[in-house]
Amino acid sequence: GHTVHVNELQSHSATHLSPTQFHNILQQHHPSSSSSRNKNNNGGEEKELVLIDVRNTFEHAIGHFLHPTNNAPAINPNTTTFSSFDSTFCAKNASSLANKTVLMYCTGGIRCEKASVMLKRRGVQDVYQLSGGIHEYVQQFGDGGFFKGKNFVFDQRVALSPSASATTTQQHINNEEESKTKNTIVGKCIECSTPYDTISGSILCTVCRDLILLCKSCQQSLLEYHCTRHSTWKHCYYTFLESFDIQSLQQQYVALQELLQVYVPPKEHKNVRKTLRKQMNKVKVRLEQL
């Protein structure tokens, strides 16, 4: 199943790495490190290093670790719910990860406890997790680490840059504006790709209610917002139908019917098809009112 039992946390959980240990492994794989050069010169075989971010997509979007060899963002599993991490990501990728070294991380380390079990029981054995998560890593390394962008936090601050996080233990930044200028913006508006990393609780996908990154300009130009997962629905799925005329509503209904045919077989897309049918009924009711 997709659940993790308490006894599995002891028998199958990943090896915990302190922020320093986690950082050192990344540093050792950086092309500039002496250990990396020596291995290349000696022709030594080493397992490929893989970084996995087990947080939500919007959290990964505004900040993530970069792979030391190529600066590529850590893998985003794109799971819609944490419980689906096993069925959607682990089931499809475990075989390709079996002979690699996996480093995973989350905000504070809690999600990794279960995520590592899900991956290890599918045959991936060389799995490590960042103890204390991004929170403790950026406190220690600030802007000097491999985490770039902002770390989403679950309070009124919403998101913090590495430098702002580091000030809680290292008073090397005394000015908030200086902290902002030092921060690297890794997020992008999902509509126009403009660099943008401001998360707002009011900017949600109209279909699934997930938080999304949408710049001010695109916010003003769109009637409603759609996440990347529902980008193909933006021409036919709206919460508020009052502003549409009969022709527009009829076009939406036809487009919803066409979308319904995409999600087959029905058994594997039960919830999605239910959502589409519900919207079709909503459009139909509105047409009858007009």
How confident is the model at residue 90, as a pLDDT? Answer: 93
Looking up tokens 């109209």 gives: 206
How confident is the model at residue 6, as a pLDDT? Answer: 47
What letter represents residue 201's amino acid? G
How confident is the model at residue 168, as a pLDDT? Answer: 47
- Low-confidence stretches of the chain (pLDDT < 50) are 1, 6, 168-181
How confident is the model at residue 13, as a pLDDT? Answer: 75
How confident is the model at residue 166, as a pLDDT? Answer: 64
How confident is the model at residue 74, as a pLDDT? Answer: 97
Query: DSSP states of the chain as a string?
Result: -----HHHHHHTPPEEE-HHHHHHHHHHTSTTSHHHHHHHHTT---PPEEEEE-S-HHHHHHEEEB-TTT-PBPB----SSGGGIIIIIIHHHHHHHTTSEEEEE-SSSHHHHHHHHHHHTTT---EEEETTHHHHHHHHHGGGSSEEE-EE-SSTT-EE-HHHHHTTT------HHHHHHH-----B-TTT--B-----TT-B-TTT--B----HHHHHH-SS---GGGGGGTTT--S--TT--HHHHHHHHHHHHHHHHHS-SGGGGHHHHHHHHHHHHHHHHHHHH-
Looking up tokens 């960042």 gives: 130
Catalytic residue numbers? Answer: 106
